[in-house]
Amino acid sequence: MKKLINDPANVVAETLAGFQAAHADLVTVHFDPDYVVRADAPVQGKVGLVSGGGSGHEPLHAGYVGKGMLDAAVPGAVFTSPTPDPILDATKAVDGGAGVLHIVKNYTGDVLNFETAAEMAEMEDIAVKAIVVNDDVAVENSTWTAGRRGVGGTVMVEKIAGASADRGDDLDKVLEIATRVNDNVRSMGMALTACTVPHAGKPSFDLGEDEIEIGIGIHGEPGRHRVPMATADEITDMLVDPILEDLKPEAGSKVLLFVNGMGGTPEAELYIVYNHARKRLEDAGLEVARSLVGNYITSLEMQGCSITVLKLDDELTELWDAPVLTPALRRGL
Amino acid sequence: MKKLINDPANVVAETLAGFQAAHADLVTVHFDPDYVVRADAPVQGKVGLVSGGGSGHEPLHAGYVGKGMLDAAVPGAVFTSPTPDPILDATKAVDGGAGVLHIVKNYTGDVLNFETAAEMAEMEDIAVKAIVVNDDVAVENSTWTAGRRGVGGTVMVEKIAGASADRGDDLDKVLEIATRVNDNVRSMGMALTACTVPHAGKPSFDLGEDEIEIGIGIHGEPGRHRVPMATADEITDMLVDPILEDLKPEAGSKVLLFVNGMGGTPEAELYIVYNHARKRLEDAGLEVARSLVGNYITSLEMQGCSITVLKLDDELTELWDAPVLTPALRRGL
């Protein structure tokens, strides 16, 4: 294993120390237990947004803490859910009196620990609601999941619900927006290579020299099938087809197309995938009205990509376009 | 070789097609020969900035085309200099009557072809000046270079000279700013793994399982030495020491610290490197006044990083902070 780390046990703490130093204008990091809040938290009268989950998916979630997106992120160990305590601490730290929304990717540990933290927060008279994101069409149940996994759609939920809270919507409305995003977003990913969790020291799974995994999870969980290496266009089809079959967008719909890198993929390859995915959506009569291309929800150094399609309406589009100022996503501020 | 590509011969064209479709609000791509210009080019009365070089370093350079940074980027084939023709076309396309600055990384082919294009442009009465960026302290001469290579400092030159042009400085002043950045910036990189050029089909060089290359070039050219795998802190020292020895910043100086990923490195690892590099600079009595962490000048899927230190003055800081709106870097617009 060759990684730019010191001790595998300190990967998250040292990452957060560097993140704090680099972005002190935007975020404040709390250590032991670890969580990241907006530098100006809590924002009085605004619904607070808290997300979190295992580390190793950077910039998700800490990179999205800031004005117009998350109020707090709670990173667990690599690929490991955070415990309820830091989730509770983060929830209390961002409560500005208007309640808190938990944005939870659908993994069993995350769901349980966020639920526990929410119950504890409610005992302290903080109103908490939760959206469980489950946009991955690859598999119905999975290694760590009952139901569908939450993947790239999480970035859409965090941005759009973040803009909803930022404009002053109340907790019910922010939840309604988040739910609408989750209902209209579908994703599927693939891997060319595996990744290595630092404390494990060896790849999470084995892939042959000429083999790829279609429908991979963001922790390297098995997907739908392994197939021989194929062209970018063929691979793109293997991701777009299941998304369209499931989302069933009416011709004429406007969509956001998000092509995400798994962490180790050259940017150029993502644009090649985007190019064909966009043609496929246009051939299906859809208008690609918004786009996002890059590393936004990763799996350490895994090579591969995921495709996310979000069916837009006017309100979701306006919220997507709203200003945002975070370490990883900034626009108009 | 497993890559998300179709035909190695079409990698650049398909990347640019996707890039155009995703960023049509910001850029216009011309094909055959290939170059990328601001969607609103030429901007009358403004100095035009043109950069370029081999592809495979994305988001450099096309990702930096837009308001406040480059007016045009000219991508060659992967790791191959663009020919003079598209450089000339790009120069003409962005000439708004105030002349054009060429920002050239110091590689023999790039320097020659930009010089030829500049001579051709001058025959068409366009004033052209050039800055050759040579910030890499690793080696004095190299596989493709007489003198030092141009690496991470190029991003600093493009941003800061771009802001100078954007505020209305004339060609001489923009060149002076670009020169001042180049004079005050130093970089050094390292690789954990090699990368594979698509049309070559195999890694550019071999690195052992427990071996890393210190002082690597952005095309995988040899660096200073190969050493056994080390900790992130030790590796960071191997990069920071030569930078400080060469730059010799006075104690009390303000600096910008830029930790760059080579394309295949998880973001968390870059923050671990940043964390120690910052401590080293602070121990040397420097104030890290600005920071940049991420994949900004890459080498395909290479794993590794580079560190860049820019000594700031008030004017460079103000220009660094100025708004910018490009596909890869946006702030305040």
Query: What pLDDT digit, counting tens, does each position of B204-238 carry?
Result: 898 999 999 999 999 988 889 999 999 999 999 99
Q: Is the pLDDT of residue B333 over 80?
A: no
For residue A22, give the nearest of B63, B264, B293 by CB distance.
B293
Asked if B74 contacts B90 with a C-beta cutoff of 8 angstroms, the reply is yes
Is A322 at the interface with chain B, CB within 8 A?
no
* A30 contact partners, CB below 8 Å, separation of at least 6: A36, A37, A86, A89, A93
Would you report the helix, strand and coil content of chain B in percent, each value rounded to 5? 35, 25, 40
Q: What is the pLDDT of residue B295?
A: 98
User: Does B264 contact A59 at a Cβ distance shorter than 8 Å?
Assistant: no
Per-window interface: A 16-55 vs B, CB < 8 A:
16-19, 21-23, 55
Task: Mark whether B102 is an active-site residue.
Answer: no
Which residues of chain A, if any, have pLDDT below 70?
Answer: none
Q: Which residues of B206-222 are buried (b: 16+ CB within 10 A; e: fewer)?
A: ebeeeebbbbbbbbbbe
B46-70 pLDDT tens trace: 999 999 999 999 999 999 999 999 9
**Backbone φ, ψ for residue A306 (5° rounding):** -135, 155
**Which H or E run includes B288?**
strand B287-294
A85-105 pLDDT tens trace: 999 999 999 999 999 999 999
- Name residue A11's amino acid: V
Q: What is the pLDDT of residue B139?
A: 87
Residues from chain B that touch A330, judged by Cβ atoms under 8 A, are: 330-331
Asked if B126 contacts B136 with a C-beta cutoff of 8 angstroms, the reply is no
User: B140 pLDDT band (50/70/90 cuts)?
Assistant: confident
What is the CA B200 to chain-centroid distance, rounded? Answer: 23
Nearest Cα to Cα of residue B27 among B65, B70, B68: B65
Query: Is residue B140 helix, strand or coil?
Result: coil
Per-window interface: B 244-263 vs A, CB < 8 A:
263
Catalytic residue among A23, A61, A219, A276: A219
What tokens were used for A49? 């947004």
Q: How far is A267 from chain B (nearest CA, A)?
A: 6
Q: Is the pLDDT of residue B2 over 90?
A: yes
Cα gap A164→A328, rounded to integer Å? 19
For a pLDDT cut of 90, what percent of chain B falls above it? 94
Catalytic residue among B23, B61, B219, B276: B219
For residue B2, give the nearest of A4, A17, A193 by CB distance.
A193
Half-sphere exposure at residue A310, Cβ-oriented, CA atoms within 13 angstroms? 31
Q: What is the pLDDT of residue A101?
A: 98
Residues from chain B that touch A18, judged by Cβ atoms under 8 A, are: 270-275, 278, 293
User: Does A272 contact B18 at a Cβ distance shorter than 8 Å?
Assistant: yes
For residue A4, give the nearest of B4, B272, B288 by CB distance.
B272
Cα gap B126→B120, rounded to integer Å? 9
Residues from chain A that touch B27, judged by Cβ atoms under 8 A, are: none
Per-window interface: A 60-119 vs B, CB < 8 A:
63
Q: What is the pLDDT of residue A140?
A: 84
Cα gap B62→B175, rounded to integer Å? 21
Cis upstream peptide for B327 (omega within 30°): no
User: B145 pLDDT band (50/70/90 cuts)?
Assistant: confident
Mean pLDDT of chain B: 97
User: Does A11 contact B273 at a Cβ distance shorter than 8 Å?
Assistant: no
Cα gap B175→B173, rounded to integer Å? 5
For residue B22, give the nearest of A2, A59, A293 by CB distance.
A293
Q: How far is B267 from chain A (nearest CA, A)?
A: 6
Q: How far is B67 from chain A (nearest CA, A)?
A: 13
Is A272 at the interface with chain B, CB within 8 A?
yes
User: Does B5 contact A291 at a Cβ distance shorter than 8 Å?
Assistant: no
Q: What is the pLDDT of residue A139?
A: 87
For residue A275, give the nearest of B14, B233, B333 by CB distance.
B14
C-alpha distances out from residue A266 to A60, A293, B179, Å: 19, 11, 30
Task: Mark whether A57 is an active-site residue.
Answer: yes
